[in-house]
Amino acid sequence: MKEVTYKWTSESQDWESWNSFLKENPRGIYLQTKEWLESYQAYGFSTLLLIASDSAGNILGGVGAVLASAGPFKILAGPYSPIIKTGEELIFVRLIQEFLQKAKSSGAFLAQLSYPCTTGNDNFPDYFLPQSLISTYLTGEKSGLIFKFVTGVSGLRAVRLFQGESDSLSKVVSGYNTLTKRNIKKASQLGNTLVFAKSVEEIKTAYQLIILNSNTQGYAVRSWEDFGDTLIKMVGKEQCFIACCENEGQLKGTLVVFDIGKKLHYIMGATLREETDFKVGHFLHHHVIQIGIQKGYEFYDISMGGSEGVVRFKEGFGGEIIGIVEPRYWVLKPWQFLAFQKLLPWVQKNKKLVSQILSKLK
């Protein structure tokens, strides 16, 4: 039997090795990177890393986690984890056991994991844990999302990129609906240009457009003060790119796309609302799809969710829904959990205020 070592660490070199593991492993995702997890430090939360490695020091899998605390209340959460190298699935149960033990020793009343496992779509098996791994519940395990501040994803909309085929782009485009094809053609005739935000000022300008869009459309995004440093670091490390559409030198729209785990994930974007419709969204997503093809990736996650109009827009690019199983949680201190549940409705109604309070408590 292979010798496997399990350790909790906060060493920079271990985090960098973990980032490299995520980058090259198809099961890797941006939610598990050092930079993403450290973004929660803006609320006073701390980050932890559990690594399983072989006798040669090669990473086989692990869990990047956040220890959230507010007064006596502590929660250990691992968003979209564990990440395990294909062929090393036998370490799954031990990783969960180590995670739960860490939660207990940290004084947490709740432990929560969002397993990277689909609800039934098996078209991209290399990118997810086998369902058989979670078919048997561990002692005390329950389904449901309790702690919504640090979580994984509920699903993906995967646009297949026809990896390795000479006519990949034409096959992808054949999956677009008629309106999407028409708008992409129109966008190419309007003088739009594709640029990438790389400097601090360019990244900030692009993100300010996202904030503006969120304010006018009535949804929440993290402030630049909370999230700006994370974006700057991730762009600098090529874990993320920010695609921008300019017209006559003016910024018209932007997309934030993560490049981790041999796939691209779109997570947020914005379009400047003007009298002239430059078809910015169609222009940018079509270009990101071409980037995914050039990188030799199997699919582009254009993401799920959004308003009815946003969902309809995404559907125009085709793709298939990949549902992710519900998170799992363990109650470690029942009385604190009960108190937390009593407070939860108020917390959910006052997320912005809670975030401000937590950031002041750090």
- The encoded tokens of residue 305 equal 């969710």
Please report, rounded to a whole number, the percentage of residues in the chain having pLDDT higher than 90.
Answer: 83
- pLDDT tens-digit series, residues 253-268: 999 999 999 999 999 9
CB 3 within 8 A of CB 54: yes
Cβ–Cβ contacts within 10 Å for residue 231, how many?
22
Q: What domains does the chain contain, in order, with CATH numbers?
A: 4-154+324-361 (3.40.630.30), 158-303 (3.40.630.30)
* Look-up of token digits 């691992």: 78
Cβ–Cβ contacts within 10 Å for residue 345, how many?
9
Among 262, 260, 259, 283, residue whose Cα is nearest residue 271: 283
CB < 8 Å & 24+ apart, contacts of 130-138: 130/89, 131/325, 133/89, 133/92, 134/325, 134/328, 137/328, 138/93, 138/96, 138/97, 138/100, 138/330
Q: Residue 352 pLDDT more than 80?
A: no
Q: Rounded to two decimals, what is the model's pTM?
A: 0.93
- pLDDT tens-digit series, residues 167-200: 999 999 999 999 999 999 999 999 999 999 999 9
Q: What is the structure's pLDDT at 44?
A: 87
Q: Residue 208 pLDDT more than 80?
A: yes
Peptide bond into 82 cis (omega under 30): yes
Residue 187 to residues 1, 37, 172, 191: CA-CA distances in angstroms? 58, 36, 18, 8
Span 78-99, average pLDDT: 96
* Cα separation, 280 vs 15, whole angstroms: 37
Q: Residue 34 pLDDT more than 90?
A: yes
Pairing relationship of beta strands 59-70 and 192-196 according to DSSP bridges: unpaired
Please report, rounded to a whole number, the percentage of residues in the chain having pLDDT higher than 70.
Answer: 94
Average pLDDT, rounded, for the chain: 93
* Look-up of token digits 């909370």: 226
pLDDT band, very low/low/confident/very high, at 355 (cuts 50, 70, 90): low
Q: Which residues of 40-50 are buried (b: 16+ CB within 10 A; e: fewer)?
A: bbbbebbbbbb
* Look-up of token digits 């099961």: 27
Residue type, 264: L
Among 145, 139, 86, 140, residue whose Cα is nearest residue 115: 145
Q: Residue 349 pLDDT more than 80?
A: no
